[in-house]
Amino acid sequence: MTFDVAQVRADFPILTREINGHPLVYLDSANTSQKPRQVIEAMRVHNERHNGNVSRSVHTLGTEATSAYEDARAKVAAFINAATPDEIVFTKNSTEAINLVAHSAGQHLRLQPGDEIVISEMEHHSNIVPWQLLCERTGATLRWFGVTDDGRLDESQLETLVNERTKLVSVVHMSNVLGTINDVSRIVARAREVGALVLLDCSQSVPHLPVDVRTLGADFIAFTGHKMLGPTGIGVLWGRYSLLAEMPPFLAGGSMIETVTMGGTTYAAPPARFEAGTPPIAEAVGLGAAVDYLTGLGMEAVHQHEQDITAYALKTLLDVPGVRLFGPATPEGRGGTLSFGVDGVHPHDVGQVLDALGVEVRVGHHCAKPTCVRFGVPAMTRASFYLYTTTDEIDDLARGLDQVKKVFG
Amino acid sequence: MMLDGLYQEIILDHYKHPHGRGLRDPFNGEAHHVNPTCGDEITVRVTAAGSSFSDISYDGLGCSISQASASVLYELLLNRSTADAAGIHEAFVALMQGRGQVEPDEDVLGDGIAFAGVAKFPARVKCALLPWMAFKDAAARAGVDVSSTDATAPEASEVKA
C-alpha cells in the first residue's frame, strides 16, 4: 500500500478550516496533533452507547466500558511491542508518567546523598523538573549530557557521566525542539553496565516512527495520546513488568488497592496499582482508535512520509535568507520538527504574522528553556510536521517568512 | 486579517528605534519581569527624585510589542510627577484590558494609543503590559505607588515552567 497524503488529509475534518481567510496550514503537531474522524467517532460512539465506569460494575454498560478500556491497553501494548498489556499504565499525559517514575522508582531505589540521576540539556521541562524535585527530596545529585553545536547529544563524557553512582538515566528519544532522534543504544548499554535504570521520554518519537520497547532496551518509556492523533487527557507509561511489580504506588485511592482496612492497605498488581481513581476511559478508547489508524497506515510509511517532508523543509528553509536552523541540518537522525530563528525578528512576531496567513507554528521556549539557552536565544520559532503535512504547506511557510521579513524589514 | 491593527507604524518605529533603552545608574528601584509563555524578559529601573521620575531605564529581550511598549513607557512617564505617571499607567492598563472596547485618549497616552489594536489580540496583551508591570514594581521598590485599582496582570509577572 502506498502512502497517499491527500487520502490521509481527507480523514481530518479540521484541515478544511480557514484561519484568517486562508486555508489552515497546521505546522504545530509536536505541540498537539490533529485528530482523524475515526478517533472522534470512536469517542462519540463510546459516550453515546457504552458509557459506564470501569473495573467495578457487573452491569452491561460497565462491562462494555471495561472491555473497551482494556482493549485500548492491549492495542497500545502491541503498538510498542510490549511483552504484555499489563506493562501499559494509563496516565494523564507524559508529564504524569515521568512524575510517576520519579516518585515510585525514586522511592524503590532508596535514593540518598551520593547517588546520581542523569538527564540531558535537550529535555522538555517535564523531564527536568521532576528530577530536580526528586534530588531535593533525597539529596541525590542531578547531572546532564550536554548538546553539541549541531544539536546532537554530547556523549563524549558518557563513561564518567554515567558511573557506579548513577541510579537512573532519563533522556529524550526525540527532541521536541531540535528534532534530534537520539540513538540511545550506547547510553542504555552503559546504564546496564553500572546497574542504572533508564527512562526514555518518547513523547515525540512514538507518534512518528516505529518504536519497539524490546529493541530500545530501556526500563520505562513515557508518551502521550494527543500528540499521536488521540485525545488530550491520556498518556502512557510503559515499564518492565518485573520492575513495576516492585515499585510502590504513586497516586492513591480507588482502583489501585487489593484490600483496605482502617489499619492499612495492600495494593493491586500493576498496572492497576498506578491507576488510582476513575481513569480517562473515553480518552483510552480514542487513543486505541488512533493506534488502529496509525497501524493501518504503517508506522514505517508514516515515518518515511515525514522524512521526505523534513528533507524538503530543510532545503526550503535553509534557502530563505536570514533563517538560522537550530538542530541537525540533514534528515538523518532527526524527525520533522524544525526550530529556527529569523534574523532581527522575535519569534512571537514571526508567529503572529504567520497566523495572519493561516500558518500555525509554535513560538517561544517550547518548555525547554535550557535548550534555548544552549543556543543563546530566549525563544525560537518551530514548525513541526506529521502524516498530513504536504510540501505545499512548507512552501506556504516559506512565503509566510518572506512576509514576516517585509513587515519587520 | 487585522495585522495592521497590531503592528502600527508607531509600534514598529519604537521597536526599531527604541527611546531611552539601556540600564542606567543611579536608580532607587529595579524590577525584572518575565513573560512565562514566550520567555520575554525586561528589567526596569526608576529614579524617583522628589515627586517625579527623573530617570527610567530599561533593557530586555522580547517581541516588538513588549519592546516598543517599554520605549513608549519611557517617553510617557519620564520626568512626570508620580501622580501623573500613576494616571497614565492606569489609562494604559485600562486600554490593554479593555478587549478593544476602550477609546484611548491621545492627550493622556500619546504614542500609547497605537497599542489600542493590541488589546484585540488576547495573546499579546501580556507582551504590551510586561514593561508596565515591571515599572510598577520598580516604582514600588523606590517607594512610589503607581498601582491603580485594577492594574493587575498576574500572568505577566509569574515565572513558571
Within 10 angstroms of residue A113's Cβ, the number of other Cβ atoms is 9
A213 interfacial to chain B (CB closer than 8 Å): no
> How confident is the model at residue B101, as a pLDDT?
84
Residues 6+ apart with CB under 8 A from B143: B28, B29, B48
Rounded distance between C-alpha atoms, residue A23 and residue B117, angstroms: 24
B61 chain-A contacts, CB cut-off 8 A? 378
The residue from A135, A202, A367, A372 that is catalytic is A367
Contact (CB<8Å) A349/B63: yes
- Please say if the pLDDT value at position B158 is more than 60: no
Contact (CB<8Å) A408/B12: yes
Kindly list the distances between the CA atom of residue A58 and the CA atoms of A55, A66, A254, A318, in Å, as whole numbers in the listed order.
9, 10, 17, 61
Q: What is the dihedral of CA A140, A146, A152, A153, to 10 degrees?
A: -30
pLDDT digits (tens, 9 = 90+) for A162-209: 999 999 999 999 999 999 999 999 999 999 999 999 999 999 999 999
Task: Give the nearest chain B residue to A408 (CA atoms).
Answer: B12
Contact (CB<8Å) A369/B39: yes
- Please say if the pLDDT value at position B151 is more than 60: no
Q: How many angstroms away from the CA of A128 is the closest CA of chain B?
A: 10
Contact B85, B147 (CB under 8 A): no
Q: How many angstroms away from the CA of B80 is the closest CA of chain A?
A: 31
Rounded distance between C-alpha atoms, residue B55 and residue A58, angstroms: 74
Task: Give the nearest chain A residue to B160 (CA atoms).
Answer: A367
Rounded distance between C-alpha atoms, residue A24 and residue A184, angstroms: 36
Rounded distance between C-alpha atoms, residue A110 and residue A353, angstroms: 51
Rounded distance between C-alpha atoms, residue B50 and residue B52, angstroms: 6
A353 interfacial to chain B (CB closer than 8 Å): yes
A407 chain-B contacts, CB cut-off 8 A? 3, 7, 12
Locate the domains of chain A by residue range: 5-30+298-408, 40-295
- Most A CBs within 10 Å: which of B40, B124, B130, as the mutation test of the A interface? B40
Q: How many residue pairs from chains A and B have C-beta atoms closer than 8 A?
A: 53
Contact (CB<8Å) A378/B7: no
Mean per-residue pLDDT, B111-128: 89
A329 interfacial to chain B (CB closer than 8 Å): no
CA atoms within 13 A on the CB side of A302: 23
Q: Which of A264, A309, A82, A105 is nearest to A196 (CA)?
A: A105
Rounded distance between C-alpha atoms, residue A385 and residue A373, angstroms: 24
- Please say if the pLDDT value at position B111 is more than 50: yes
B7 chain-A contacts, CB cut-off 8 A? 349, 352, 407
Task: Give the nearest chain A residue to B12 (CA atoms).
Answer: A408
Residues 6+ apart with CB under 8 A from B17: none
Residues 6+ apart with CB under 8 A from A44: none
Intrachain domains A5-30+298-408 and A40-295 with the same fold: no
Point out the residue among A369, A378, A407 whose CB comes nearest to the CB of B7.
A407
Residue B38: band (very low, low, confident or very high) from pLDDT cuts 50, 70, 90: confident
CA atoms within 13 A on the CB side of A219: 23
> How confident is the model at residue A360, as a pLDDT?
98
pLDDT digits (tens, 9 = 90+) for A229-250: 999 999 999 999 999 999 999 9
B65 chain-A contacts, CB cut-off 8 A? 348-349
pLDDT digits (tens, 9 = 90+) for B53-78: 999 999 998 899 999 999 999 999 99
Contact (CB<8Å) B63/A346: yes
Contact (CB<8Å) A364/B61: no
- Using only C-alpha atoms, chain B has a radius of gyration, in whole angstroms, of 14
Q: What is the dihedral of CA A173, A174, A178, A183, to 10 degrees?
A: 60
Contact A302, A121 (CB under 8 A): no
What are the helix (H) ranges across A319-368? 347-356
Does the active-site annotation cover A202? no
- Using only C-alpha atoms, chain A has a radius of gyration, in whole angstroms, of 22
The 3-state DSSP class for residue A111 equals coil
Out of 3.30.2270.10, 1.10.10.60, 3.90.1660.10, 3.40.640.10, the CATH code matching A40-295 is: 3.40.640.10
- What is the value of pTM for the model shown? 0.91
CA atoms within 13 A on the CB side of A398: 15
Point out the residue among A129, A347, A372 whose CB comes nearest to the CB of B161.
A129
- Cα-Cα end-to-end distance for chain B: 32
Contact A200, A67 (CB under 8 A): no
A356 chain-B contacts, CB cut-off 8 A? 1, 3
Domains of chain B, start order: 3-157 (3.90.1010.10)
Residue B1: band (very low, low, confident or very high) from pLDDT cuts 50, 70, 90: very low
How far, in whole angstroms, is CA B87 from its chain's centroid? 13
CB environment B62-85: b (16+ within 10 A), e (fewer): bbbbbbbbbbbbbbbbbebebebb
The 3-state DSSP class for residue A319 equals coil
pLDDT digits (tens, 9 = 90+) for B2-18: 677 788 889 999 999 99
Residue A9: burial class (beta carbons within 10 Å; 0-12, 13-18, 19+): middle
Rounded distance between C-alpha atoms, residue A290 and residue A353, angstroms: 32
A293, containing H or E segment: helix A281-297
Rounded distance between C-alpha atoms, residue A387 and residue A296, angstroms: 13
Place of cell 484568517: A20
Pairing of strands A25-26, A359-360: parallel
pLDDT digits (tens, 9 = 90+) for A247-262: 999 999 988 998 999 9
Q: Which CATH architecture describes the domain A5-30+298-408?
A: Alpha-Beta Complex (3.90)
pLDDT digits (tens, 9 = 90+) for A343-377: 989 999 999 999 999 999 999 888 888 999 899 88
What residues are paired with A384 via a beta bridge?
A28, A337
Rounded distance between C-alpha atoms, residue B6 and residue A79, angstroms: 46
Q: Which of A306, A327, A304 is nearest to A382 (CA)?
A: A327
Q: How many angstroms away from the CA of B83 is the closest CA of chain A?
A: 34
Residues 6+ apart with CB under 8 A from A386: A29, A33, A34, A207, A208, A306, A336
> How confident is the model at residue A234, as a pLDDT?
98
Q: Can you say whether the dihedral through the CA atoms of A249, A251, A257, A260 is positive or negative?
A: positive
The 3-state DSSP class for residue A384 equals strand
Rounded distance between C-alpha atoms, residue B6 and residue B12, angstroms: 10
A379 chain-B contacts, CB cut-off 8 A? 38-40
Q: How many angstroms away from the CA of B126 is the closest CA of chain A?
A: 12
B111 interfacial to chain A (CB closer than 8 Å): no
The three cell numbers of residue A166 are 548513577
Rounded distance between C-alpha atoms, residue A317 and residue A324, angstroms: 9
The three cell numbers of residue A139 are 539529596
All residue ranges of chain A with pLDDT < 50 are none
> How confident is the model at residue A89, as a pLDDT?
98
